[in-house]
Amino acid sequence: MTGAPALVLLAHGSDEQRSERVVRDLAQRLKAMRPTLSIDLAFLSPGTPTADEVVDALAAQGHDEVVVIPLDLSRAVEPDEQTTALVDLVRQHHPGIRIQTSRPIGPATSLLGVIDERLRAALRATHTVELDGLVLSLPQSGDARGNALVARRARQWSNHHKLPVVVSVADGSGPSPANAIAALRAQGRRHIAVGSLFIGETSAFTSQAEQARAAGALAVSAPLGADDRVLELVMSRYSYAAMDMLDDIPGEPAEVTVLTTAEDIPGDDGDDLSEDI
């Protein structure tokens, strides 16, 4: 089949319907934005459909090129081992299909704006009018580049609000939300809120929110959800991966949409905030 490669969003599976609903909404909104592009959603275990099932269906439809996009906010360059192993297995099962894995979404600068919108809503709901410390909470630690970018995003967020920011992770691979809040309290901070860099209401999100509130956080932001800025990042990752696939193919290039933002130029960390957050 000629044309642009099929796009497959790869999300971590969950036994919780609320968590899966968000990524299904992401896929549906993306399909509405790009109706001429083949877009599917697959899950790492648990969850259905699996990547193998999705690629089976794409092969039956005549697709011979697929771009897999990991919905991972912590990693910036390499997918995690589970994703890499899964994609390798799908390649073995479908030797006639070229499969390219894009960079994960990563901790992009634009997501700080989404976090702020969610946090303002949480602050209004709790009638909080004063803050003197912030926690940036993630599901897990990432690759080396992702962790460096998370630290940079924390500095950007801190500089923007002129408040100290401490990073926490929910999976035990780094400081917990409670540890982060304790670190701010050791600095004399008493009015602390948590910004959540999560896509949906996973068990990890619920756990970090409960820990944060138990430790005295005044407000915890909702997850990012199916926000347009997340969709823009997905399309940007897709565009670069699809362009990479053209290198070995002679003839007319497939038509893809290329987004040229500072966040996606290799080697550019996007130091300047692109929007008022």
Domain match, 199 and 231 both: no
| For the chain, percent of residues with pLDDT exceeding 70 | 87
| Neighbouring residues of 236: CB distance < 8 A, sequence distance ≥ 6 | 259, 261, 263, 264
Domain match, 114 and 242 both: no
The answer to whether position 31 is within a domain reads yes
pLDDT exceeds cutoff 80 at 19: no
pLDDT tens per residue, range 120-167: 999 999 999 999 999 999 999 999 999 999 999 999 999 999 999 999
The answer to whether position 230 is within a domain reads yes
Domain match, 118 and 59 both: no
List the structure tokens of 247: 């290198």
pLDDT tens per residue, range 226-242: 999 999 999 999 999 99
More confident residue, 86 or 253: 86
Give the three-class secondary structure for 31. Answer: helix
Domain match, 230 and 102 both: yes
The pLDDT of residue 258? 35
CATH code of residue 185:
3.40.50.1400
Name the band, by pLDDT with cuts 50, 70 and 90, for residue 254.
very low
The whole domain housing 60 covers 6-106+226-264
pLDDT exceeds cutoff 50 at 189: yes
> Which region among 38-42, 200-204, 246-250 has the lowest average model confidence (pLDDT)?
246-250
The pLDDT of residue 212? 96
Domain match, 168 and 253 both: no
Domain count, the chain: 2
More confident residue, 255 or 29: 29
The answer to whether position 190 is within a domain reads yes
The pLDDT of residue 246? 81
Strands (E), the chain: 6-12, 39-44, 65-70, 98-101, 133-138, 165-169, 192-196, 219-220
Domain match, 260 and 208 both: no
The answer to whether position 79 is within a domain reads yes
Hunting for tokens 């691979």 — which residue is that?
Answer: 173
The pLDDT of residue 213? 97
Measured CA to CA, the distance from residue 94 to residue 258 in angstroms comes to 28
Average pLDDT of the residues in 44-58: 89
Closest CA to 126 of 213, 202, 224, 223: 213
